[in-house]
Structure 1
């Protein structure tokens, strides 16, 4: 039998065109290796070599995973440390950082909003508590509702709904502005600023900020004013509550509006709007109108 010598490359074909059984390229271990001898089967040596290479590769991959995890941990630790280094001065030192946006305030200046909310001379949103700011603002009688939100990256947004005066009442020492709940939200020595209807017919003693009117007739008058659309409410100059059974409102053009006891405020307000629109459209000469929801009336002169 003819013996052939292979140096690792594919053998030359026989004359018949067939190849001897193929072998993968095999490079035996260095001479003197304890794991190899010339008498060992090549396939066994090849298999053992593959396993040894696979084990080394597995160890290498494991080592690389460990190194990657260690690198990620170091990166996280570095990021946290950097944030702490930045955060500490912002949290405790009197430095400015971020901004505050205020929406919804009309008569209350921005400076008053910030002062009442407890914002110092500089704005640092890290040092401010939105819950504490909201609590302080809701204690101010000028503020009806308030919402405070943090917005990325460094903004505090304050949304304010102010209490609105719907009427003014004369007192012993001046004028008290009242909102629709009957709460005194402002006290002035003279009528100025917001033009709202004056409630007459009741003698009021001293009214202080935060006081609430408990008189039922006045409550009905305030409820009526609150239900009127803004364009109609602007036409009301006075409401007289001297009689519990006959509240009378007066327009800026001198038209009296009979409101009865002032109950069913929403319905009476709707009737008032409709009748005043009719008077304006038809240019009627009117003595008074009756805003009774069951039998509305325009009394001509």
Structure 2
């Protein structure tokens, strides 16, 4: 009886296996995501390297146009020739300082700047020299700018420019520097009356006016004060007006 009772009972079913742990469940998908990220990173790096190569070492983003701005006497083609920019040169690799240095070697160029205008244009901005005086020589009329540079020779003397008389016209010559400094400092009404400016030394600047009067200016100091003293002084009769020492002007 005991044995029949035992046979009549239901045996308990085995418990189901526990689910896989979280790490095990995610092992497959996590590895796929890791590999995908690695490929994406590699593609990004390759894209950056490829784009850098195209920009830096090919003509795709190269110079197509060289634009010259600000010239009057200097021909734009002359500036382009001096700039020596090879079309197709990658824009980002072009040495703009070197280009500016080459253009600045042109005698008539006072100042130059070079800039990039993407995607393919180089702009060269030029400021030309302007004459403030002339020197007459056997080979023609030499134009002198406000820095004392003799930068060009022409056949005819431009109107309205005074004759510069110094031993040697040069930017580093003290007499030349004093003379052009005075010309740049005096008021326009007085400058228009000057037909000749001379200087044997830096402290001996003299102005010859259109009416034949001579002004002993002295050095290139206190120019505004000297001009203010000279204005009423010129109303007095005389041939020579000395304002070298503006505190004690004289007329003779």
Give yes or no for TM over 0.5.
yes
Q: Tell me: CA distance 1:183–1:81, structure 2 relative to 1, closer, same or farther (3 Å).
A: same
Does the residue aligned with 1:70 lie in a helix, a strand or coil? helix
Measured in 2, the distance between the counterparts of 1:239 and 1:258 equals: 9
Per-residue displacement from partner, 1:243-286 (whole Å, max 9, x unpaired)? 9986431345x3735234x31x1413x13543576689xxx576
**Which position in structure 2 is the counterpart of 1:225?**
183
CA, structure 1 residues 229+123, in 2 after alignment: closer, same or farther (shift >3 Å)? farther
Task: Encode CA deviations 1:136-191: one digit per residue, 9 max, x unaligned.
Answer: 12322222333323344444333434333321111122111223443321112322
CA gap 1:113/1:272 in 2 versus in 1, 3 angstroms: farther
Give the 3-state SS of the residue equivalent to 1:294 in structure 2.
Answer: coil
Measure the CA separation in 2 of the matches of 1:238 and 1:170: 12
Work out which of the residue numbers 27, 30, 35 in structure 2 matches 1:66: 35
Aligned mate of 2:131, from 155, 165, 173:
165
CA distance in 1, matches of 2:80, 2:107: 15
* Counterpart check, 1:199 vs 2:199: no
Counterpart of 1:250 in structure 2 is: 208
Partners of 2:55 and 2:177 lie apart in 1 by 56
- Per the alignment, residue 246 of structure 2 pairs with 294
Higher RCO (C-alpha 8 Å, min separation 6): 2
Q: Aligned to 2:244, what secondary structure does the other structure show?
A: coil
Tell me the equivalent position of 2:19. 49
CA distance in 2, matches of 1:175, 1:56: 95
- Alignment partners' CA distance in 2, 1:85 and 1:214: 48
Distance 1:184 1:88, change over 3 A: same
Instruction: Write 1 or 2 for the structure with the bigger share of strand.
Output: 2
State the shift of 1:216 in Å.
Answer: 4.9
1:198-232 Cα deviation digits (max 9, x unpaired): 124x688xxxxxx7377654443223223345675
Where does structure 1 lack aligned partners over 5 or more consecutive residues?
1-36, 205-210
Q: How has the CA–CA distance of structure 1 residues 106 and 273 changed in structure 2, closer, same or farther, with 3 Å as cutoff?
A: farther
Aligned pairs for 1:98-109 within 5 A: 98-109=64-75
Distance 1:223 1:98 in 2: 43
The equivalent residue for 1:7 is none
How many correspondences in the alignment?
239
When residues 97 and 217 of structure 1 are mapped into structure 2, their CA distance, relative to the original with a 3 A threshold, is: closer
User: What is the TM-score when the length of structure 2 is the normalising length?
Assistant: 0.68
User: Does the CA contact (< 8 Å) of 2:57 and 2:90 recur in 1?
Assistant: no
SS in 2 for 1:259: strand
Written as runs of structure 1 = structure 2, the 5 A alignment for 1:1-301 is: 38-40=13-15, 45=17, 48-49=18-19, 51=21, 53-78=22-47, 80-81=49-50, 84=53, 90=59, 97-119=63-85, 126=91, 128-192=94-158, 195-200=160-165, 212=170, 216-228=174-186, 233-241=191-199, 247-252=205-210, 254=211, 256=213, 258-260=215-217, 262-263=218-219, 265-268=220-223, 270-275=224-229, 284=235, 287=238, 289-295=241-247, 297=249
